[in-house]
Structure 1
């Protein structure tokens, strides 16, 4: 961050790394306000399984963008970006520092870089292209790509089946050359660039085993707090099903399948913990791809002071330290 633009702090980290606790401590030391970056906390009635802060915690440190949707309603990355920008502007107008924290990498990417126009994968189109490749070979499909989009074909090796398939899939779904869409995306990202200086702090345990243990312990605690009953209540609603984004959240999905009779409770717990570990692995992979991130070990006793120092070192006035 620098002194010429208002600041924003991204407090990042894998699930169960201690982000929320650190964020609350920072709010109590700084003139800051929390904005949640969590695709499950936006939903009302999904409290225990999302590790949503309780009423007492929210009284100490209010969180924006939680409990803003019913689980039956969709909430997209585009919705989040618009809502987050509005909250950041509100917090800045009040003279405070926005502290964005959560584990939804897609939301952070959408906020910082804007949204891509690239279509999602289409299994039917991919199956058709794979069948063609089996008959004629990927080299011939590469020739077809060259006729459609010479610029993209030049960057892709004739034997790179995955990238040839994706390029042709994009053309099939949009009718446009992939290079055209890439150029549009680049232009959109430039336009969408945030007018604020961002300080990124990542918190995670130093050892993978520690994170795995924390994930297992947290899910056990959630069950003790009544997670199964929470999912039972959602399962009883006729307007909810596993096709909805809300019900695909880790923990909810597996216990929903238990209630559907697809597996035992023990199997559901095992799968939920495994899915949480896989989520954490993906989150860490993304975090390690970022540049200019201050990494903190969640087991450190002075982690709050380290985070404060990282914010100060970024060069942005953050208001009085309380």
Structure 2
């Protein structure tokens, strides 16, 4: 997200609180809202889904009641929510919140959404469920590397920048070719970023010691596995919490691992555990490993934003530091 510039100094300020999972973004946003009238726009591709509360670390009912939140619980897990939809919703919400005289806090770790807001999006064809199902079936026959080889013949530029096991992006690139008759690489342009109606204060909560963040991730995943909907379970890890939540989702009968919702970190691993693919301890290990990989990707995205203001998320008084930074920016 780009920060303020002299040419647009009169624009209202939006605070972007970015960071990897378990970095304390929600606590920092709530601290700001306690002192400055604010509303929160969630920048999280998993929080949009109803019925997915534990594995997404969704804010509690008390936290949601303390300050208005937006873009949480807006979709069924059978549906898809795109970066383009996010951009449209975020710009609409900014105008509404600003009209109410509140500070807009954009809070989350889905860096693609932040990028879509900052840079805009190229016009790509919408997803086609029937085509995706057919591509899924083809991938089951020839494997993801086989799909990557097919893409390399049709769109070598896109194939070269994708890993051979990146099933989701390979499928999307093939889908675009079939829907539009053009390659993704030809549709993506280098047009300038659109003008936004606000300036952004980009705050990045990043760990000075990544091993401490890894400890937090493990502790939080353990809590997800051990908690019930009404709080922690005595005796440590028990069959409850995330496992119970995924059991409830499976019982609906309309969900499967091909959906974006069920590909969320923690949910895929728990689904496979319930399928009997591995035991409880391996579920824990795989869930923690997947969350650490997610955090690594989020930090890589953040490092590509040189304009960000870095705040050590494992330091002392993190939320207070964020509040002070925001307060000082609003005084300028």
TM range (shorter): 0.7 to 0.9
1:218 paired to 2:220: yes
Structure 2 match to 1:299: 314
Q: 1:77 aligns with which of 73, 80, 83?
A: 83
Structure 2 match to 1:45: 51
2: CA distance between counterparts of 1:101 and 1:34?
7
Q: Cα 1:83–1:130, aligned 2, differ >3 Å: closer, same or farther?
A: closer
Q: 1:198 aligns with which of 197, 200, 203?
A: 200
TM-score (norm: length of structure 1): 0.79
Structure 1 match to 2:210: 208
Partner SS state of residue 104, structure 2: strand
Shift of 1:118: 6.4
Structure 1 match to 2:277: 262
- Partners of 2:177 and 2:183 within 8 A in 1: no
- Partners of 1:5 and 1:196 within 8 A in 2: yes
- Larger Rg over CA atoms: 1
Structure 1 match to 2:251: 236
Q: 1:274 aligns with which of 289, 294, 308?
A: 289
Unaligned regions of 5+ residues in structure 1, if any?
133-140, 146-155
List aligned pairs for 1:164-183, cutoff 5 A: 181-182=187-188
Q: Cα 1:179–1:307, aligned 2, differ >3 Å: closer, same or farther?
A: same
2: CA distance between counterparts of 1:80 and 1:162?
28
Shift of 1:303: 2.3
- Partners of 1:33 and 1:91 within 8 A in 2: yes
1:127 paired to 2:149: yes
Partner SS state of residue 9, structure 1: strand
1:10 paired to 2:25: no
Aligned length: 287
* Aligned residues: CA RMSD: 3.2
- Partners of 1:7 and 1:196 within 8 A in 2: yes
Q: Deviations over 1:217-250 (max 9, x none)?
A: 0000111211111111001111111111111100
